[in-house]
Structure 1
Amino acid sequence: MRIENVTWPRWLGKTTMAALMLATVSMETAVAQDAQAVSQLTLSDALNRALDNNPITNAADEEIRAVESEARQAGLWDNPTFVAEVEDFGGDREGLGDADTTLSINQTVPLGGDRSRARDAANAWAQAARADRDLHRTRLLADTAQAYVAAHAASETLAVRLELLELANNSADAINSRVEAGRASPIERSRASVLIGRATIAANEAASTQAEQHDRLAAIWSGGRLDADFVSPLDAFDLSRFENAELDVWISENPELQKLHAITRARAQEIRQERAAAIPDLTVGAGVRRFGGTDETAFVATVEVPIPVLNRNQGGVRAAASRENAARLDEESTRRALLARFASASGRFERARSTHEQLSENILPASENALSAAQEAYREGALDVLNFLDIQRSYFDVRVDLISAQSELASALIELDALAGAPQLNRMVNASPEEEHND
């Protein structure tokens, strides 16, 4: 559910709060009737929607088809040519009837195999286009997963902030009643007002963040309003697969590195193509000639071969070799950059996991114990209401910190997975909810 920013009244009782939230939900439901609404959205659902509706993968497929068509075209021989030649007519001779006429068909034969080399080079570029499509796909999955994590965290944070605001308003009602009855100082009313104000600001900021992150996620596949309950993205990952990973093995399937490696292979094929182009093509022809003066006919044959004295395609071969060297250097440079990115992402993952474990296993239980003790002390009169509200707020802040830690851990997992070619994200695509949680 998505909640818009609202201005909360200073003194808002439980009944009024419930009515206000019910009205807000009703308005949201009415707006959502024209949008696609789902009761629950998993990370797998979001990834599938992105692949089904985002044009970037379709555009990459079109480029692959274009390059494959170019490969087929590159392997074709030149068309044969038909030649009609009319000689020795007019002047001292009669008209066209006395002319010598030759009809022939000529065909260029690529002796050096440059057509097949050109086809091989074009096919290598088609493979590079496929690698580029895989890179776009991986980036789309990673961006979608990151947006999903942010939207999930925003929704969870808003729920906690609204819960805290409701408790603060209920407590403020009690304080206001005590002040009006003369059993408490008006100062307590002012302090309670401060607590409510802070809770209101936090709730409004959380509502704004939730709306922003929901819109960001929905824009990946179509835009519009997104009304859904999110499932924790951490449930979809197997954390054990991220432990003790070896650098070179981890990035060996990186799509960016795979694309550059495919480009290097294509550049190598271009060298072979340019070397084949240095061998001259042979043009052969055959036809028939009619001699106009005697009305006799004879067969003719022609052979034409360029002499490779001045142009042996030296420049083309050198240019292709330089481009291959540049591609290899670019590939090595990217490999080193990926190693650095992996080291950074791995460190981020370890820090995020440590923070998440500390919050979930130590800090949150301690905060819950403190809140329980404060509740008991408040019931016994050993703790005033405002200090009790401060302890409550601290407990809710810890819950928000845990949400942030879960989001950071999931984000680090996605970054690491994308560096390895997104094996876990790809596993989630078209996976059923049961498979997603069981793996």
Structure 2
Amino acid sequence: MNILKTVLALGMLVLAAGCASEQTIIEPPSKSTLGEKTYESSLALNKNVNSQDTANKVTISDTLTFSDALSKALLENPRLQSFGWQVRVKEAERIQASLLPNPQLNAEMENFGGTGPFEGYDGREVTVKLGQKILLGADRLKQKRLAGANKELAGWDYEAQRLDVLTSVTKAYISALEAQRQWQQQKELVDVAQNLYNSIAAQVEAGKVSKLAQTKAQVELSRAKIDMENARNQWESARSSLASYWGSQQPQFQQLKGQLSMPADIPKYVKVQEYIQRNPDVARWATELQQRESALDLAQAKGIPDITVSGGYKRAEDLSASAAIVGVSIPLPFFDRNQGNIRAAKYELSRVETQRESAVSQTYKALQTAYNKLNAAAHEVNQLQKQVLPGAKTAFEAAQTGYRQGKFDYLEVLDAQRTLFSTRTRYIQALAEYNRAVADVERLIGTSLSEISGN
């Protein structure tokens, strides 16, 4: 009984020594980042915590709204969910990095089962030891810091992917709205072409115009129907592309709700570029540098050998006596001081610094290109709306009136009709390009342009 108490007491001392070596280091509080603030409250990420929870499901009806499309993608986009799981993986690795090394129990029995003096168990010796590694280089703390930086980087990756999904869904919704409007316009064109054909056919029967005019009207009507079918196919493709962002193979909605936004006042580029640090692809590099610095600290810490203290007892049967045992194991860093890994960690830190400069430079370049495209699209929309469309509409109405009064022939009406509807088509395209350009600029600055305009 006394021997057991001695072993337990020594074991507690060993464990206390191991814990004391870590408790003397005060861990600084974790720093909250934009990435953490965003992804910790994300529905898509929280869905991964409890995959059976269906309370946040978004039901799609025949008419899809823009907000429902965004919510559906955030909740059910497969790629975004994979990034959410990656955050959880890094959280688990951080927990593992904070754990103490396990103690080691070592038991030996000597001088038994032999011959001569060692025959039987009279001369046996029993040794029981309990050892604990003590991390002199603060490895556990530095491993935890490194794991924490890895978790923050996973958070930034998630945030970047979240914005990518939101931007992609926004642009897909804009493209679908564009296709829907183009299809509707082609239907209108077919109706106009049909009415014109009926009018000419009636005049042919009355002998007022030649059969050739009716043939030309028939050709124009057939062409309009072909264009309408092509527009319908483009609409179906746009629907499928939009639905794919939440993993749907067959779109459940039949139409979209909403209109393409008209150009608003665009803030100056100098003001827009001030927000580029909100882009997670840029903001993440500060955490990337912290992660490399933590890796360097850990590599340097591993160059300091950790000692192992042990304690136990030894029992000699031939003497009927017991004794306590204490020991310490210290690796001698004659050859391996982790110098190769330390140098590699320094090189990695330098590499990240140059990568950061390159990434920021590329982002500014992309922002300038997107901003110029935004300005050009806004200018085109304004010109089409204020000058070109009204003129084309007036010319078409005048041609119809003149044709009924006999002042113009059919070809002049047809030319005015083509001009009007081709201008409408270009206007819808320009309006969609403007809205997609807005989405691209907002992705690069991580901020809504309306928020900047309001400052």
Corresponding position: 1:196 with 2:221:
yes
1:136 to 153, 156, 161: 161
Aligned to 1:59: 82
Kindly tell me: are residues 374 and 241 of structure 1, through their superposed partners in 2, closer, same or farther at Cα, counting changes over 3 Å? closer
Aligned to 1:47: 70
- Write out per-residue CA displacement over residues 310-342 of structure 1, whole angstroms, 9 at most, x where no aligned residue: 111001111111122222222211111111101
Aligned to 2:274: 249
Kindly tell me: are residues 105 and 423 of structure 1, through their superposed partners in 2, closer, same or farther at Cα, counting changes over 3 Å? farther
2:98 to 75, 92, 117: 75
2:275–2:447 CA contact under 8 A, matched in 1: no
Corresponding position: 1:337 with 2:362:
yes
1:417 to 439, 442, 446: 442
Query: What residue ranges of structure 1 are gaps of 5+ in the alignment?
Result: 1-35, 428-437
Aligned to 2:402: 377
1:223 to 249, 253, 261: 249
Paired residue secondary structure (1:335): helix
- Write out per-residue CA displacement over residues 66-90 of structure 1, whole angstroms, 9 at most, x where no aligned residue: 1111111122121111111223343
Aligned to 1:6: none
CA distance, structure 2, for counterparts of residue 286 and residue 41 of structure 1? 71
1:262 to 287, 297, 300: 287
CA distance, structure 2, for counterparts of residue 370 and residue 265 of structure 1? 65
Deviation at 1:62, TM superposition (A): 1.1
CA distance, structure 1, for counterparts of residue 265 and residue 120 of structure 2? 93
Deviation at 1:207, TM superposition (A): 1.2
Query: What residue ranges of structure 2 are gaps of 5+ in the alignment?
Result: 1-58
CA distance, structure 1, for counterparts of residue 149 and residue 348 of structure 2? 15
2:314 to 286, 289, 292: 289
Kindly tell me: are residues 345 and 409 of structure 1, through their superposed partners in 2, closer, same or farther at Cα, counting changes over 3 Å? same
Deviation at 1:240, TM superposition (A): 4.2
Kindly tell me: are residues 71 and 185 of structure 1, through their superposed partners in 2, closer, same or farther at Cα, counting changes over 3 Å? same
Paired residue secondary structure (1:144): helix
CA distance, structure 2, for counterparts of residue 349 and residue 330 of structure 1? 28
Aligned to 2:259: 232
- Sequence identity (%): 29
- Write out per-residue CA displacement over residues 44-97 of structure 1, whole angstroms, 9 at most, x where no aligned residue: 221111112212222111111111111111221211111112233434324233
Amino acid of the residue matched to residue 70 of structure 1? E
CA distance, structure 1, for counterparts of residue 115 and residue 88 of structure 2? 58
Corresponding position: 1:360 with 2:388:
no
1:158–1:210 CA contact under 8 A, matched in 2: yes
Aligned to 2:338: 313
Kindly tell me: are residues 77 and 288 of structure 1, through their superposed partners in 2, closer, same or farther at Cα, counting changes over 3 Å? same
Superposition CA RMSD, Å: 2.2
1:77–1:109 CA contact under 8 A, matched in 2: no
Amino acid of the residue matched to residue 282 of structure 2? L
Amino acid of the residue matched to residue 415 of structure 1? D
1:41–1:231 CA contact under 8 A, matched in 2: no
Aligned to 1:92: 116
Aligned to 2:131: 106
Aligned to 1:159: 184
Kindly tell me: are residues 241 and 393 of structure 1, through their superposed partners in 2, closer, same or farther at Cα, counting changes over 3 Å? closer
Kindly tell me: are residues 344 and 54 of structure 1, through their superposed partners in 2, closer, same or farther at Cα, counting changes over 3 Å? same
- Write out per-residue CA displacement over residues 325-366 of structure 1, whole angstroms, 9 at most, x where no aligned residue: 222222211111111101110110010000011011111122
- Write out per-residue CA displacement over residues 166-203 of structure 1, whole angstroms, 9 at most, x where no aligned residue: 11111112212222332211111222123223312221
TM-score, with structure 2 as normaliser: 0.81
CA distance, structure 2, for counterparts of residue 401 and residue 107 of structure 1? 76
Higher RCO (C-alpha under 8 Å, 6+ residues apart): 1
> Which has the higher mean CA deviation after the structures are superposed, 48-57 or 367-376?
367-376
Deviation at 1:278, TM superposition (A): 0.6
Amino acid of the residue matched to residue 104 of structure 2? T
Deviation at 1:367, TM superposition (A): 1.8
Corresponding position: 1:349 with 2:374:
yes
CA distance, structure 2, for counterparts of residue 240 and residue 117 of structure 1? 50
Amino acid of the residue matched to residue 308 of structure 2? T
Deviation at 1:241, TM superposition (A): 6.2
Corresponding position: 1:271 with 2:287:
no
Q: How many residues align?
A: 390
CA distance, structure 2, for counterparts of residue 217 and residue 388 of structure 1? 39
Paired residue secondary structure (2:337): coil
Paired residue secondary structure (2:132): strand
Deviation at 1:422, TM superposition (A): 5.1
Aligned to 1:389: 414
Paired residue secondary structure (1:111): coil
